[in-house]
């Protein structure tokens, strides 16, 4: 079960929670030279270019973040709560058809 560190209230209707793995992912990507901010992750959830079905009832929101990359956010939905499980950059050519 994920451990929740903090949540971000989008509006009165929705809350976004980052599980501990998602919190760690910011540091992991930064070490590899790919910095992603919470603001970017929240923006993907608020205004995705597309949302796909993921494994085990999860969802994957995706948005273009540069000419060559998209940011993909894996999340779970439970009522008004969206839990960010993980996120990762991907090459646009691979994920956009």
Q: Which residues of the chain have pLDDT under 70?
A: 1-13, 97
Report pTM: 0.85
Can you read off the two tokens belonging to residue 70?
């998209």
Terminal CA-CA length for the chain: 34
Per cent of the chain over pLDDT 90 is 77
CATH superfamily label, 4-95: RelE-like (3.30.2310.20)
CA 79 – CA 2 distance, rounded (Å): 17
Q: How far from 40 is each of 45, 72, 73, 79, 97, CA to CA, in Å?
A: 9, 10, 10, 23, 22
pLDDT in tens, 1-27: 454 555 555 555 689 999 999 999 999
Query: Any idea where the domains of the chain sit in the sequence?
Result: 4-95
CA 11 – CA 97 distance, rounded (Å): 32
Q: Tell me, what's the pLDDT at 1? A: 42
User: Taking the mean position of all CA atoms in its chain, how far away is CA 97?
Assistant: 20
Q: Tell me, what's the pLDDT at 74? A: 97
Q: Tell me, what's the pLDDT at 43? A: 95
């Amino acid at each position: 079960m994920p451990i929740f560190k903090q949540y971000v209230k989008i509006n009165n209707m929705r809350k976004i929670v980052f599980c501990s793995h998602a919190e760690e992912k910011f540091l992991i990507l930064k070490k590899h030279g790919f910095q992603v901010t919470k603001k970017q992750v929240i923006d993907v959830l608020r205004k995705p270019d597309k949302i796909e079905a993921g494994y085990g009832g999860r969802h994957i929101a995706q948005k273009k973040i540069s000419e060559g990359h998209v940011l993909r956010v894996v999340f779970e939905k439970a009522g008004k709560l969206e839990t960010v499980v993980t996120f990762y950059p991907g090459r646009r050519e691979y994920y956009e058809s």
